[in-house]
Structure 1
Amino acid sequence: MDSAAESSPIPGSASSDRRPGSLSSRLAASALATDGGVMSNEAFDKWFEERQYQHALQVSRIAFDELQGWGFAPETGDLRHDSGRFFSIGGIGVHSDYGPVRQWCQPIIHQPEIGVLGIALREFDGVLHCLMQAKPEPGNANAVQLSPTVQATKSNYTRVHGGSAVPYLERFIDPDPPRVVADALQSEQGSWFFRKRNRNMVVEVGPEVEAGEDFCWLTLGQLGALLHRPDLVNMDARTVLSCLPDWRAGSGAAGAGLHSGTEIRSWITQRRAQHEISVEPLPLHDAAGWYRSEREIAHESGLFFSIVAVDVRSHRREVPAWSQPLLEPHGLGVAALLVKRIGGVPHALLSARVEPGFLDVVELGPTVQCTPESYAHVPAELRPRYLDVVLDRRPGRTLFDAVLSEEGGRFLDARSRYLIIEVDEDFPAEEPADFRWVTLRQINELLRYSHHLNVQARTLVAALRTVL
């Protein structure tokens, strides 16, 4: 990641060169293929519309006592599945030195299982394609979104629910090592999940792998265009795409960053060492400031989020009918990345974020990540730094702007407005303690490893590759 490493990548790594036939050049060729291939853009739209019709879900809000297979533990008030699997909702008490509020209690989702998020790559006529799935989730406003080839928790793929097998799973559970393009454990929302991790994988496959009825082969160029469409490419697909080696043509060009790779790594370590956060498990009924009614668990202020219960009916899922709790955010989130050319090299302004569910205190997030409604009661000087820059952005400087859904299997109508904003050259280069300008190449290096960029930042990295 330092300047020397940037000009001389690790031999044999996915980003080591762009010679014809190298993985990086093949990915770049796929990114340039914006139509045609196995499925044209027009054919995709027709196919996806049909999948939406075929996979329509009937989702109804219900009272907690109508949940089937779920209940509140008498001794703690935690909401759990009778099997002890899937996930549970408990409480935590938090003491932190970060942000305008330093002490609070909240419900949080516990899902200790490590799931699999995997995309299969296959070459057609010399062009790499990704095998994507049209998958319905009860929390999605539009039910069906484009997901990875495999998107499954361990409870799902071990069939605790008694449902059907997960297609293509064997390609990711024990892959042939030379076929693995990317493989890292990555976190999910640290404000809503407690230390949740999924294995993000990309594996190249051969002609023996074909697309089933609910699957399609798309180039990176096609996927890049679909990222700009609201609520289409789901969160799990976006995070896996970000873990691919950078597919932008010409991204292998060397360029010195404002900071060396060693400096960036030292800064991350410093923030992890200096920030203090204590997270203590609590019985859910002891989470101060939260109340439980027949139909929701909510904060007394009406802010943040609620826990609700839903009944789901489907004639095409692994299980045709079920009920479950979901976390429902209050308000549209904002995740914005400021980018600037420094010495001619694009840099992104990342923040060192402290969230109670992170495994290692700090992960790098977007420049701004918040739900503005949650700060309506906070004095202006305590609002998130750079939020006013984002809200007052000029349309001509906005490189990416799309409302995208968060994970629809655990969250109800959770959506965020993702923005990439290019700032002027005279934008202050000052870096507060929890912010650093980082080159795209340095970001790509960090993504080869676990727990460095949070899930919102990973979505913006995938989007950034479509606009720079």
Structure 2
Amino acid sequence: MPSPSLRPPLQARADARLASRIARSAAAPEGALLRTGDFAAWLAERGRANEFRVDRIPFARLEGWSFDGRTGNLAHRSGRFFTVEGLHVTEEGPPYGDGPYANWHQPVIRQPEVGILGILVKEFDGVPHFLMQAKMEPGNPNLLQLSPTVQATRSNYTGAHAGAEVKYLDHFAGPRRGRVIADVLQSEHGSWFYRKSNRNMIVEATGEVPLLDDFCWLTLGQIGELLHRDNVVNMDSRTVLSCLPATPPSSAPHPDAAATHALLSDTELLSWITGERARHCVRAECVPLAGLPLWKRGESAIEREDGRYFRVVAVSVRAGNREVTGWTQPLIEPVGQGVTAFLTRTFAGVPHVLVHARVEGGFLDTVELGPTVQYTPDNYAHLDARDRPRFLDTVLRAPADRVRYEAVHAEEGGRFLGAESRYLIVDADETEAPQDPPPGYAWVTPAQLTSLVRHGHYVNVQGRTLLACLNASAAKAR
């Protein structure tokens, strides 16, 4: 028998207090260091303190970037950062509501390195606060938005850009790293990235944390309020925040059941996801950018001949508070504003949202759970009613009293130019969204989504944004 003193120490598999601490922060409408009413002035002051400018330029004015003479791929001379290549996607079998196209070509961003998206947490006056950054991204419609504490590609934090060090990085990647609350690889936009993942982290600081320029401490309740404003909280913040443990709204008819009961058991849900991945036979391969069918390259853009979907453009950037203060780069610019929505219903007192098992060419594992609706309406305006995306018209025609949440949020501003989506959570009825949904769709609870987000590549980035917004709406209702 081993001596009791030699037995390995054991610890709890989960922190039983964490959810209540997060709930306390979500319920705090004001912070200890910055009042919510003063945030807009603070953000505007940070904008005035730095020089920001973004100009469109022709491809010939890109510095360090060039088109390969053989493949036509657009790459940086260092071999780092990312490349713009061609992608050929084919899907065998019925599309299950994904639209009429099962074979297509497109440009895609290929960035195999894994970046860090990290938010630092620290208690003030007994309430957890989150360290957020006023960060300029060239593609943001208003340039300056609220980003995570650390938002850096591997090329950034390893110094490939020869710029300044990434602030607070050692809290996430060094020996000073604090107590990990969440740490998971999550996908990026599968329609525009090829198999891109970022490390989503939430870390609680164990010591003093100096407050640097362009950073502020906010409660989760304050961030939730800002999520109700257009183009304030950036995409990277939203995906990281979705990784937090969540509690059911106390206003739910049966709050305990909302956390523990659902139409599908967790095992049934995982089996359904596995079945969706198995029945979709998708082949996605990178091909030369030159000569993509239906695409043409001009002096200032690579775009489809019919003008739909998106284009690849180039910009020159000045940003006084970035690690590098000036650079040029390509960006993807979508054509039109997207609409991204969850339809929601309550079954036996438990709220559910309708998820879609989406196939996107850039996904690592074929299918991820996305919102009920995730489309740019203008791209489908020419189609007959039978070919239009399922549930899109239900969302577009929803009366105001059915809309529980609505805000315009920008997508990833470091790679996409002016990419905005109108995010909505819309109540539906049995005729609009039946309890037995069409193939490719399933009713899940927010608690189930939260459990899935703790693991990588189950919920896409748009679904994670809506989960963060759903949690913010629940906290605001409390």
Scaled by the length of structure 2, the TM-score of the pair is 0.92
Describe how 1:5-404 pairs up with structure 2 within 5 A: 12-14=13-15, 17=16, 22-97=17-92, 98=95, 99=98, 100-174=100-174, 179-247=179-247, 250=250, 253-254=256-257, 255-404=260-409
Q: Could you tell me whether the CA contact under 8 Å between 2:171 and 2:177 is conserved in 1?
A: no
Q: Where do 5+ consecutive residues of structure 1 fail to align?
A: 1-9
What SS does structure 1 have at the residue aligned with 2:290? helix
Q: Could you tell me whether the CA contact under 8 Å between 1:333 and 1:417 is conserved in 2?
A: yes
Q: Could you tell me whether the CA contact under 8 Å between 2:171 and 2:178 is conserved in 1?
A: no
Scaled by the length of structure 1, the TM-score of the pair is 0.94
**Quick one: distance in 1 between partners of 2:349 and 2:247?**
20
What SS does structure 2 have at the residue aligned with 1:466? helix
In the TM superposition, what is the alpha-carbon distance from 1:42 to its structure 2 partner? 2.5
Q: Which amino acid in 2 is paired with 1:309?
A: A
Q: Which amino acid in 1 is paired with 2:39?
A: F
Q: Which amino acid in 1 is paired with 2:60?
A: D
Q: Which amino acid in 2 is paired with 1:66?
A: R
Q: Which amino acid in 1 is paired with 2:473?
A: V
**Quick one: distance in 1 between partners of 2:210 and 2:411?**
28
Tell me the C-alpha RMSD between the 2 structures: 1.7
In the TM superposition, what is the alpha-carbon distance from 1:80 to its structure 2 partner? 0.1
In the TM superposition, what is the alpha-carbon distance from 1:55 to its structure 2 partner? 3.3
**Quick one: distance in 1 between partners of 2:14 and 2:386?**
45
Alignment deviations for residues 6-47 of structure 1 (CA, whole Å, 9 cap, x no partner): xxxx96325xx4xxxx11111101011001422111332221
How many residues align structurally? 453
In the TM superposition, what is the alpha-carbon distance from 1:439 to its structure 2 partner? 1.1
Q: Which amino acid in 2 is paired with 1:351?
A: H
Q: Could you tell me whether the CA contact under 8 Å between 1:28 and 1:249 is conserved in 2?
A: no
- Of 291-300 and 275-284, deviating more is 275-284
What SS does structure 2 have at the residue aligned with 1:217? strand
What SS does structure 1 have at the residue aligned with 2:145? strand
The answer for the alignment partner of 1:3 in structure 2 is none
Are 1:443 and 2:449 matched, yes or no? yes
The answer for the alignment partner of 2:467 in structure 1 is 461
Alignment deviations for residues 251-302 of structure 1 (CA, whole Å, 9 cap, x no partner): 9723421110000000000000000111122100031110000110000010
Q: Could you tell me whether the CA contact under 8 Å between 1:55 and 1:144 is conserved in 2?
A: no
**Quick one: percent identity of the two aligned structures?**
52
The verdict on how the C-alpha distance between 1:192 and 1:207 changes in structure 2, with shifts beyond 3 A counting, is same
What SS does structure 2 have at the residue aligned with 1:374? helix
Q: Could you tell me whether the CA contact under 8 Å between 2:59 and 2:314 is conserved in 1?
A: yes
**Quick one: distance in 1 between partners of 2:12 and 2:393?**
44
What SS does structure 2 have at the residue aligned with 1:194? coil
Q: Could you tell me whether the CA contact under 8 Å between 1:147 and 1:233 is conserved in 2?
A: yes
In the TM superposition, what is the alpha-carbon distance from 1:175 to its structure 2 partner? 6.5
In the TM superposition, what is the alpha-carbon distance from 1:248 to its structure 2 partner? 5.3
Q: Could you tell me whether the CA contact under 8 Å between 1:56 and 1:136 is conserved in 2?
A: no
Q: Could you tell me whether the CA contact under 8 Å between 2:74 and 2:83 is conserved in 1?
A: yes
**Quick one: distance in 2 between partners of 1:384 and 1:448?**
29
What SS does structure 2 have at the residue aligned with 1:225? helix
